[in-house]
């Protein structure tokens, strides 16, 4: 399961890489002067990818319905295994479950950072936005490569809590470097090394957190607890 989730997240990181690399290209694709950006082009690129994603989602819906039809009665949930809203109190009384939820709420504050990372690198290194975007794209590459292997390790060896802990430390270290490194000492190689640390952290935490959920909740809670974590993450 952990490796399967790692592969899924690797594909998601490929999308982040595409955004970092291609957005500047699309933004000034129709301009004779590279300094004149047209944000509408990048928005259109995002819309095109969203349409592709929606089509793949529809494909999945039909495949899932077909599979349930093939399973027949085997796909039905026994009455005693059905999830009830009143069961939520059992989840919230679990310290481990709530702790993982806190990780999801606070540690994934990285997502807003993506919005400003390119401008920050461009300003700190005094380079063009295009070059800064290319530099930051090494982050999703690292996460994309490492996540499946971390998932495989988790399947074989376990130790999900330890992996999550190390990932949290690395993510904190990377943000402290970005925030506190003196401008005169912050060069391309320090920036690249910090991005590699960030990519490693962003591989360790999701690759260990999501597959750990089946170990701490009953099967009938699994879908609900996944969606609750995503909900909390989006609120953050």
Specify if 81 maps to a domain. no
Give 129 or 173, the one with higher predicted confidence: 173
Q: Is 80's pLDDT higher than 60?
A: no
Specify if 50 maps to a domain. yes
pLDDT tens digit sequence for 10-39: 888 787 777 777 777 777 766 666 556 667
pLDDT tens digit sequence for 28-69: 766 666 556 667 777 888 888 889 989 999 999 999 888 888
Per the listing, tokens 């909900």 go with 231
Specify if 107 maps to a domain. yes
What CA–CA distance (Å, rounded) separates 113 from 108?
Answer: 10
**How many domains does the chain divide into?**
1
Long-range contacts of 149-154 (CB under 8 A, 24+ apart): 149/6, 150/2, 150/6, 150/203, 150/204, 150/207, 150/208, 151/2, 151/3, 151/4, 151/5, 151/6, 151/7, 151/207, 151/211, 152/2, 152/3, 152/6, 154/2, 154/3, 154/207, 154/208, 154/211
Specify if 82 maps to a domain. no
Q: What range does the domain containing 52 cover?
A: 2-75+88-235
Q: Answer yes or no: pTM beyond 0.85.
A: no
Q: Which H, E and C letters describe 22-85, residue by residue?
A: HHHHHHCCCCCCCCCCCHHHHHHHHHHHHHHHHHHHHHHHHHHHHHHHHHHHHHCCCHHHCCCH
Specify if 83 maps to a domain. no
Specify if 24 maps to a domain. yes
Specify if 195 maps to a domain. yes
**Across 174-200, average pLDDT:** 86
CATH of the domain at 160: 1.20.1250
Residue 223, both tokens: 């879908």
């Amino acid at each position: 399961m952990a490796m399967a989730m790692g592969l899924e997240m690797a594909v998601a990181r490929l999308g982040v890489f595409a955004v970092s690399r291609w957005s500047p290209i699309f933004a000034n694709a129709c301009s004779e002067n590279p300094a004149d950006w047209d944000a509408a082009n990048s928005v259109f690129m995002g819309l095109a990818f969203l349409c592709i994603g929606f089509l793949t989602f529809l494909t999945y819906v039909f495949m899932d319905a077909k599979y349930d039809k093939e399973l027949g009665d085997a796909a039905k949930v026994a009455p005693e295994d059905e999830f009830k809203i009143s069961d939520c109190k059992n989840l919230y009384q679990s310290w481990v479950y709530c702790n993982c939820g806190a990780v999801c709420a606070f540690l994934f504050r990285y997502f807003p950072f993506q919005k400003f990372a390119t401008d920050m690198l461009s300003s700190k290194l005094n380079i063009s936005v295009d070059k800064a975007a290319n530099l930051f794209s090494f982050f999703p590459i690292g996460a994309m490569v490492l996540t499946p292997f971390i998932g495989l390790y988790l399947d074989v060896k376990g130790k999900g809590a330890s992996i999550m802990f190390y990932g949290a430390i690395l993510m904190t270290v990377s943000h402290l470097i970005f925030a506190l490194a003196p401008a005169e000492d912050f060069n391309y190689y320090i920036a690249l090394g910090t991005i590699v640390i960030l990519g490693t952290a962003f591989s360790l935490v999701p690759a260990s957190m999501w597959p750990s959920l089946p170990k701490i909740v009953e099967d009938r809670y699994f879908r609900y607890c996944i969606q609750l974590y995503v909900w909390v993450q989006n609120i953050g």
